[in-house]
Structure 1
Amino acid sequence: MGEYVLLSDISNGLCLKLALARRGERPDNTQQFPCETWEDFQTSITGFLKAHDNPHLMGAAISAGGWEDRGTMAMPNHRFSLNRAEVREFLNIQRLNLVNDCVAKALAIPRLASDERLKICGGEALEEQVMAVISTHRGLGQAALAPDGMGNWTAMPCEGGHSDLTPVTDLEWKVWKILHDKYNGHVSRERVISIPGLRDIWQALAKIDGEDGAIVPEAEVIISRCRAGDARCRQVIDLSMGWFAAFASDVALILGARGGVYLAGDLMDMIGDQLNIDAFVARYSDKGRLSTYVSEIPVYLATARDLEVIGLATLFD
């Protein structure tokens, strides 16, 4: 039996992350390859394994922004899907794990070092309690970790990112109405707490300001302009992160996540120092009679790179 496992994440746009690790070990680094098609997927992995002297694999794990249904990993953000039987045949392996990317990130959380998480607010995490993971990049993912009482964790996939967006201020209501019309009636949280969501919010604010039809900047430009002092772009970030804080506290309540709420994903990395911590904490803690309960649940920003790949490696412990 081979000593190595192949770890692969295909959740970030059209990019495929690949790593090799010995069983039970955390991978040292990852490499990235283009991956728009099934043929790209095969070519990238073949080249990667060849560059590592074609090790005999004991198994593989793949994470993606999607879900498995009857042996096929559906990936809504890609133009192809992954069939379990085809991947096994291609890699010449029997053991194959196909998991949601947010589940993979959740599996990584117990393995993070203290300097790979940044506490945003809250009290102390309680041991052997549920933890929640929320990841935002092109979409909004969610997963939970439940302790099994024997020192291990069970990851549970969720689709909370598609739950209804709730506005509470006059400006949020105006933005919500515009998005409600744009998306034919249903506005999910993902529409505003994501990289594409920044563009949707900017466009809605432009329409509110009488600039309907204005050219919408890319998310990176919005963040850059915010950093430079642009008022509308500042509003975009504050609206998105305000809704994110509200979502985080809803998740904390729904799951009873007294082990902590972990935030991750490319959007948080992009926003960086433009996150208004005080405003985030105020919105997160605003839960009426249960404000104290929520305020005691810590919120962390997971700062480790390649969180999905770290989590995939734990499947072979």
Structure 2
Amino acid sequence: MTQSVQSHENLPYPVLVADIGGTNARFGVLTDAHAELKEFDTAKTADFEGLEDAADAMVLSRTAITPRSAVLAIAGPIDGEEVPLTNCDWVIRPNALMQALRLDEVVLVNDFEAQSLALPSLKDSDLQLIGDVEMAEAGTKVVVGPGTGLGAAGMVHTGALWVPVPGEGGHIDLGPVTDEEFNLWPHFEKEHGRISGEALLCGRGLVRLYNGVASWRDKPAELSDPSAITSAALAGSDEIAEESLNFFCRLLGRVAGNLAIAFMAKGGVYLAGGISQKIAGFLAKSEFRAAFIAKAPHEALMNTMATAVIIHEKPALLGLAAFARTPQLFGVDLNGRRFYAAE
């Protein structure tokens, strides 16, 4: 069952934390507020029927620690007591999870809300800057992540609190700007009747982008896997793949800039996810930063905002652990998202 609660109420330890995406589920356990997060192997969501099975196989069967509560980052909108993942057939049912794992409490947050919770804790060594503007400690921050889908969230710094702003920002519309893009756009296959940010800026989006560029250039589309396209582009072995990844970086910069100017992200914009990490060097040399800044008449303002790739391996777990340790530092609205076991 749920109760109306505030985010500063402490969770009972040990706390199970999990970042549940469309493809992977990552787990950790925090034994107390001062302990290091104990991490576990990553699970492929396709290998398990649901979260209960994955958590039992990947965590509970591998440690003597018995979690009393859980904080879960879910790749999908949270509304009610059944939460389907956007890009996976799992459905998260907190009450069933508490019964199966013998938990007292479960907290659900959006997957990119968890990414945003990590932002204040990231060190310089966790980041690879794109451009020469250093990250600011304070100020509103934005995180954007192309992966199985395209996630986005804000983190507003207000007074002594960091307030995450979750949403489905990856589904904003995306359209052409340059003459070159107007010629390219008719070659894209639409998704749900339109071209959104996620339609082009994720794994399957890169394939759609590659097919569109191949059609536009009247060349054969020889690759069909996003990892293969990325690898070929980085190796310079396929000119269509390389051109597609250039477009990918430009469009990602544009979307990141749109979110930055909407949030007035003077605390910087962070790129999350495996794709961003893999292409970090390519991004630094691409049109990403130029597209990010090109928000006339506010180019000077945009050029004060830092951009960086998060190279920390599991930043969402870092964010969940930060919240579990010090919930009083975060203004997280948990109404309808904190569940208690029935007595």
TM (norm. structure 1) is: 0.91
Q: Which amino acid aligns with 1:167?
A: P
Q: Kindly, what percent of the aligned residue pairs are identical?
A: 24
Counterpart position of 1:52: 63
How many residues are matched?
A: 312
Kindly tell me: are residues 228 and 56 of structure 1, through their superposed partners in 2, closer, same or farther at Cα, counting changes over 3 Å?
closer
Q: 2: CA distance between counterparts of 1:299 and 1:56?
A: 40
Is 1:31–2:41 an aligned residue pair? yes
Q: Which amino acid in structure 1 is aligned with residue 14 of structure 2?
A: Y
Change (3 A) 1:263 1:299: same
Q: Name the residue aligned to 2:229.
A: 222
Could you list the per-position Cα deviations for residues 24-67 of structure 1 after superposition, in whole angstroms to 9, with x for gaps in the alignment?
345143312243377453233223213202x2323101112102
Counterpart of 2:53 (choices 39, 43, 66) is 43
Are the structure 2 counterparts of residues 3 and 127 from structure 1 closer, same or farther at C-alpha, using a change threshold of 3 Å? Answer: closer
Instruction: Say if 1:272 and 1:114 are closer, same or farther in 2 by CA, change over 3 A.
Output: closer
Summarize the Cα distance change of 1:182–1:67 in structure 2 as closer, same or farther, 3 Å threshold: closer
Write the distance in 2 (CA, Å) between the matches of 1:314 and 1:65. 19
Alpha-carbon deviation of 1:301?
1.3
1:182-239 Cα shifts (integer Å, max 9, x gaps): 3364100111111111111111112113347x45431111122212322211110100
Contact in 1 for aligned 2:112/2:143 (Cα 8 Å): yes
**Structure 2, unaligned stretches of length 5 or more?**
1-10, 326-343
Aligned to 2:340: none
Q: Tell me the residue number matched to 1:190.
A: 198
1:235-246, aligned counterparts within 5 Å?
235-246=243-254
Partners of 2:192 and 2:17 lie apart in 1 by 39
1:68 is aligned to 78
The equivalent residue for 2:269 is 261
**Selected match of 1:140 from 136, 142, 150:** 150
Change (3 A) 1:39 1:225: closer
Is residue 133–residue 262 contact of structure 1 (8 Å, CA) maintained in 2? Answer: yes
The aligned counterpart of 1:156 is 165
* Greater fraction helix: 1
Match of 1:166? 175
* SS of equivalent residue, structure 2 residue 26: strand
Task: Give the TM-score normalised by the residue count of structure 2.
Answer: 0.84
Asked if residue 290 in structure 1 is aligned to residue 301 in structure 2, the reply is no
Cα pair distance change 1:249/1:40, threshold 3 Å = closer
Give the equivalent residue in structure 2 for 1:271: 279
SS at match of 1:19: strand
Structure 1 range deviating more: 225-234 or 96-105: 225-234
Question: What is residue 234 of structure 1 aligned with on the other side?
Answer: 242
> Cα–Cα, structure 1 residues 23 and 67, in superposed 2: closer, same or farther, change >3 Å?
farther
Seen in structure 2, the aligned counterparts of structure 1 residues 166 and 122 have a Cα distance that, compared at 3 Å, is farther
Q: Structure 1 segments of 4 or more deviating over 4 A?
A: 124-127
Q: Deviation at 1:292?
A: 0.3
Aligned to 2:95, what secondary structure does the other structure show?
helix
Cα 1:35/1:108, change in 2 over 3 Å: same
Check conservation: 1:106, 1:311, Cα contact below 8 A: yes
1:9 touches 1:16 (CA, 8 Å); kept in 2? yes
Q: Residues 58-108 of structure 1: CA distance to partner in whole angstroms, max 9, x if unpaired? A: 310111210211122221211121112111212222221111111111101
Q: Matches of 1:126 and 1:182 in 2, distance apart?
A: 38
Structure 1 residue runs of 5 or longer lacking an equivalent are none
- Aligned partner of 1:83 among 76, 83, 93: 93
The answer to whether the 8 A contact 1:73-1:81 is kept is: yes
